Structure 1
Amino acid sequence: MPCPVSSPYSGRHLLVVGATGRVGTALRRYWGGREICGLRPVWQTRQALSGRGWVRWSPLDEALPDVPPLWAVLLLAGATPSGKGNMKDAAPLARAALEAAQAGGARHVFLASSQAVYGATDAAAREDTPRTPLSGYGHSKAAMEDAALNVPAGMPPVTCLRIGNVAGAELLGQAVASGRPVRLDRFADGAGPVRSYIGVGTLARVLESLVRHSRNGTPLPQVLNVAAPTPTAMSELLRSWGRGWDWRPAPPEARQRAVMNVELLESLHRFRPEDSHATQMARDWERFGA
């Protein structure tokens, strides 16, 4: 589905909040200054940065400064599973993103939630699977979703993107980048953990598709699982990065599979076969990763 060639909303912008984190930096490198479905990106940072397309803004401390007219807001900012950042900020950041979207005239808000809201599930989690987060990070993302989906009338519509592991940006990728030895749980079948992953290039193209649907007036869901269609073995990613690892017996509480169903996303975005390949995910991070 093509983007509108022209519309009364041409010249609008996409505000990306959290543009200097691992995922935000990788997306900036992938897009390379290009427009995103006709929208010019505005990159938010809390630091004073010069250069076209940047806005200095501390979302939790001040109102949005003057920015060009917005079409959409993408919130990537917030704490990470590794413990960086304050998890209590998740809900206030969601409210700040919504207020910024309203102030800038945006028509849609995309919030980076997480697969962690599902907690332990035996089957592939669907968007209507009950949330049972187990970690503080999962609880913080659930609180963010609640803050975003229970707002007064008049706010722009929201889609909470329950993103799986972004290959390279998550804990395994950070361990690889640090050079530390990696140990994987080995389960009864002799294999290791399998997770829902997505490469940063694929994530960028998914976001482009969602912006395209927004601009074409397609109704978007309030929550959406975001991952490649086929789950990925962590061992395959390590092989693709050229890294070895040691095995350890999986403890009783360890989960071999933590995966999501992405049929709803597949109705909105056309994946390529290689999008589920560990080699492509690893290559994307080597090229664009922070």
Structure 2
Amino acid sequence: MLETPVLVTGANGQVGRRVLKAWKRERPSFHVAAVARESGQMWQAWTPDMPPVVSQARAVVGLWGVCFGTLEETRVNLDLARAAQSLATQTGADRVIHLSTQSVYGRSCLLAREAQVLTPASPYGQAKAEMEDMLRGTDGPRPIILRVANVIGADAISRSLAGTAPIVLDRFSDGSGPVRSFVGIADLARIIAALCTCPLEDCPDILNVAAPVDLPMNAILDAAERDFHWKEAPEGALPVATVSTQKLQQSWLPRPQACTAEALYHDWQMFRD
């Protein structure tokens, strides 16, 4: 077990809580110091105006973020990224893992590749694209940007599974429902853990993180044996929003294992609140 801890911010968020649970089940090779604005069972209270909770860190993992709101509101993500970089500088960490999103690809999200031009179509996607641009010019600890697909447990379909309201899915003119890239929490946690401990030169600058198989949303509902209703997709709705995982599949990083609707639903059950 490595003595110098990994410092995790946003531990009380949808992704943060679940990643910590995954690390509790499948312990990484490092200690974890987790923080959030309010204290919890697995994290300490901390805000960016406070001194770091540890004097030294191996890496900083930024799991915080604002997903909803106006562009001005979601631009808080830039401030959080700066705070994570500052935290790494203060604790001697040589890397910061930042969560971005496939939303940076906007409507050009058909097996979107890391090298393509970003064309975000939502305030959240625009703010994350601006965050990435800012980080590319930063000095100090190295930023590692993960463009994460729909995270089971923290995405729209998971909120539907957790609720009791009737579930409604868009249906397109060909009779199909929305197809998306997904990633399970256990797989995301393994990839983050690997990036925290590998030699710095082995880290990618930017990486799409998703299972290699894209799935229709209704397949996950079927796996959960949940009833749902179709409605005609509104104009402008995207039938397919997927990312290429070629770079991840060709890398040394752990391959995602939850690649079926049944496996993703099991992941949701394992790490649900």
TM-score between the two structures when normalised by the length of structure 1: 0.87
Q: Is the 8 A contact 2:93 2:141 kept in 1?
A: yes
> Equivalent of 1:188, from 136, 149, 173?
173
User: Structure 1 residue runs of 4+, over 4 Å off?
Assistant: none
CA distance in 1, matches of 2:156, 2:214: 17
Please, which moves more after superposition, 216-225 or 12-21?
216-225
1:82 Cα deviation after fit? 7.6
Q: Structure 2 vs 1, CA of residues 177 and 82 (structure 1 numbering), >3 Å: closer, same or farther?
A: farther
Secondary structure of 1:239's aligned partner: helix
Amino acid of the structure 1 residue aligned with 2:190 = R
Amino acid of the structure 2 residue aligned with 1:20 = N
Q: Is the 8 A contact 1:72 1:108 kept in 2?
A: yes
Q: Structure 2 vs 1, CA of residues 17 and 209 (structure 1 numbering), >3 Å: closer, same or farther?
A: same
Find out whether 1:89 has 2:72 as its counterpart: no
- Give percent identity, aligned residues only: 34
CA distance in 2, matches of 1:123, 1:177: 28
Question: Within 5 Å, which residues of 2 pair with 1:48-87?
Answer: 48-49=39-40, 54-59=43-48, 62-81=49-68, 86-87=73-74
Give the aligned partner of residue 220 of structure 1: 203
Q: Structure 2 vs 1, CA of residues 33 and 271 (structure 1 numbering), >3 Å: closer, same or farther?
A: closer
Question: Within 5 Å, which residues of 2 pair with 1:1-290?
Answer: 10-32=2-24, 35-36=27-28, 38-49=29-40, 54-59=43-48, 62-81=49-68, 86-121=73-108, 123-151=110-138, 153=139, 155-213=140-198, 216-266=199-249, 267-271=251-255, 274-290=257-273
Secondary structure of 1:79's aligned partner: coil
Structure 1, unaligned runs of 5 or more: none
Structure 2, unaligned runs of 5 or more: none
Amino acid of the structure 2 residue aligned with 1:16 = V
Q: Structure 2 vs 1, CA of residues 64 and 113 (structure 1 numbering), >3 Å: closer, same or farther?
A: farther
1:210 Cα deviation after fit? 2.1
Q: Structure 2 vs 1, CA of residues 164 and 25 (structure 1 numbering), >3 Å: closer, same or farther?
A: same
Q: Deviations over 1:71-117 (max 9, x none)?
A: 1111011112488x941210010000000001101011100110001
1:26 Cα deviation after fit? 0.9
Amino acid of the structure 2 residue aligned with 1:25 = R
CA distance in 1, matches of 2:54, 2:130: 28
TM-score between the two structures when normalised by the length of structure 2: 0.92
Q: Structure 2 vs 1, CA of residues 34 and 103 (structure 1 numbering), >3 Å: closer, same or farther?
A: farther
